[in-house]
Amino acid sequence: MSKKIVGIMGGSGLYEMEGLKNIRHKTVQTPFGDPSDQLVTGELEGVEFVFLPRHGRGHMISPSEINYRANIFAMKTLGAQYLLSLSAVGSMKEEICPGDLVIVDQFIDRTKGIRKHTFFEGGLVGHVSFGDPVCIHFSNVVYTAAKNVVSRIHKGGAYLCMEGPQFSTRAESLLYRSWGVSVIGMTNMPEAKLAREAELCYASIAFSTDYDCWREGEEEVSADKVLAVIKKNVETAKRVVKALPSFIPEQRRCKCAEALKFAIISDRQRIPEKLKQDLKPLIGKYL
């Protein structure tokens, strides 16, 4: 039986969960540079967790500066099979109140090309399916675990990922609302795309902190208000993560584990040897 390993991508503090055993700090080097910080591993009820604060300790890295490829590659290198994203978002719907959780199932990518969106370049072309950008099976597991510890939770919803670090204009916020999105944030893209290329089961919990700036009579979103809600959300996130081990299946039965099986279309003989070696944790079993 293979060991169940769950990656947690989020803010600082989660590796301080009560009950986490065999805590280790690991520095991981990747072909794409350094991850946001050291990764912290620990065990809880038979499941190994790998934690990484995507903005680094102290929140030193802006959304557009995050080395998403290095972060995902590091998770893969340490054996993660699942990846749970925890992120603060603005609510785009009246019924999603500040403090609510949303189990995201779709994305609209409005980032502007600054971020690297794929591992496949420089002599290797791969096209992964991305119609359903989260793992439905893992998302259901996360929803079940979260529902056991929180009352205000919404299953499903589209996450619009904007560039940032500035918040939206009111006109943009109203436009995005007209598209029917549920939440708006700055970090889940290209994270979800890269997780699929790395054959990780990806799920996302969006923690609503505000109503962005679309809501009449509501003050404009500001960093101090967001941070106040985030502090409360850290404790909620810890409770959800602690509830996860009971619901993680013994084996993955979804398509995520073979997302690259038919995705690589480059001539195997012409792929540069260094690229094959660099990407061995991702593509080694297919080459």
Q: What is the pLDDT along the chain (287 residues), one digit of tens a residue?
A: 468 999 999 876 777 778 899 999 999 999 999 999 999 999 999 999 999 999 999 889 999 999 999 999 999 999 999 999 999 999 999 999 999 999 999 999 999 888 999 999 999 999 999 999 999 999 999 999 999 999 899 999 999 999 989 999 999 999 999 999 999 999 999 999 999 999 999 999 999 989 998 987 666 666 666 666 667 778 889 999 999 999 999 899 899 999 999 999 999 999 999 999 999 999 999 99
Q: What is the pLDDT of residue 17?
A: 79
18 falls within a domain: no
Report how far apart the first and last C-alpha atoms of the chain are (Å, whole number): 25
225 falls within a domain: yes
Q: What is the pLDDT of residue 34?
A: 98
79 falls within a domain: no
Q: What's the number of domains the chain is made of?
A: 1
120 falls within a domain: yes
pTM of the model: 0.95
| CB proximity list for 228: less than 8 A, separation 6 or greater | none
Structural domain including 157 reads 85-286
33 falls within a domain: no
47 falls within a domain: no
| CATH number of the domain where residue 189 is located | 3.40.50.1580
Q: How far is it, in rounded angstroms, from Cα 279 to Cα 274?
A: 9
250 falls within a domain: yes
Q: What is the pLDDT of residue 227?
A: 67
127 falls within a domain: yes
Give the active site residues.
210, 212
| Bridge partners of residue 77, in order along the sequence | none
Q: What is the pLDDT of residue 1?
A: 43
